[in-house]
């Protein structure tokens, strides 16, 4: 089983990854959790660029794809092959959203990714109102930075909202973490 949590920054994805992993482990399943960008060389370059100056849109897109290819080959595919549950904090839907707003066509990004990245069985999109998300990530300062971040997150939200696949489930992330977790378990029937 391959499960992905998506959503804009501040929606509590990593908390849900951990709660779900614990619940499945308690049922005796082998569970592998991971995140993108990864801690590998490409992922680290992407994280560093947040501080050392942002990369060009093309460089950034290329690095997310390199990072994901490595992730798929070294961790995701082997784990699925031995029937472990894989739970990710972000996957290529984040590339559609975040690189989509830097000028690339989200559907083209998806096509490129589907050539090398397996489709998940479940994608949980955690949805949260923008003010709450901005509060949680600490950028409600009324400065230009807040305006920019708000615009960017709104556009990412819109791209996540446009996903129409059967495996995509939207959950209200404004609820308590426990309630969000309950909703996830209900959808998974566990």
Nearer to ligand TYD, 102 or 170 (CB): 102
Report if residue 64 touches ligand TYD, rule: CB under 6 A: yes
Minimum Å gap between C-beta 165 and ligand TYD is 17
CA atoms 129, 132, 133, 134: torsion sign:
positive
Task: Specify the residue, 42 or 181, whose C-beta has the smaller distance to ligand TYD.
Answer: 42
Q: Tell me the number of residues near ligand TYD by CB under 6 A.
A: 10
Taking the complex as a whole, the smallest distance from the CB of residue 25 to ligand TYD amounts, in Å, to: 22
58 and 102 in contact (C-beta within 8 Å)?
no
Q: Smallest distance, Å, CB 83 to ligand TYD?
A: 25
Beta strand 122-127 pairing with 168-172 = parallel
Query: What is the 8-class DSSP label of residue 143?
Result: S
State the nearest-atom distance from the C-beta of 28 to ligand TYD, in Å.
29
Out of 37, 100, 106, 120, the residue judged to bind ligand TYD by CB under 6 A: 37
Q: Which two tokens stand for residue 174?
A: 């404004």
- Residue 137, token pair as written in the block: 């990530």
Q: Using omega within 30 degrees of 0 as the cis cutoff, is the peptide bond preceding 173 cis?
A: no
Please give the structure tokens belonging to residue 180.
């969000």
> Which parts of this chain interact with ligand TYD (CB under 6 A)?
9, 36-37, 64, 89-90, 94-95, 98-99
């Amino acid at each position: 089983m391959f499960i992905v949590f998506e959503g804009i920054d501040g929606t509590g994805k990593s908390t849900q990854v951990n709660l779900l992993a614990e619940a499945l482990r308690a049922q005796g399943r082998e569970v592998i959790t991971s995140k993108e960008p990864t801690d590998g060389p490409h992922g680290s370059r992407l994280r560093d660029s947040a501080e050392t100056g942002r990369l060009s849109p093309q460089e950034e897109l290329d690095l997310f794809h390199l990072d994901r290819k490595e992730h798929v080959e070294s961790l995701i595919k082997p784990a699925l092959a031995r029937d472990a549950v894989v739970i990710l904090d972000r996957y290529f839907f984040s590339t559609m959203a975040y690189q989509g707003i830097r000028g690339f066509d989200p559907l083209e990004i998806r096509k490129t990714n589907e050539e090398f990245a397996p489709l998940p069985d479940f994608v949980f999109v955690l949805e949260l109102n923008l003010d709450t998300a901005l509060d949680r990530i600490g950028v409600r300062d009324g400065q230009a930075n807040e305006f920019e971040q708000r615009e960017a997150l709104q556009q990412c939200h819109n791209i996540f909202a446009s996903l129409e696949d059967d495996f995509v489930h939207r959950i209200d992330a404004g609820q308590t973490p426990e309630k969000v977790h309950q909703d996830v378990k209900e959808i998974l029937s566990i």
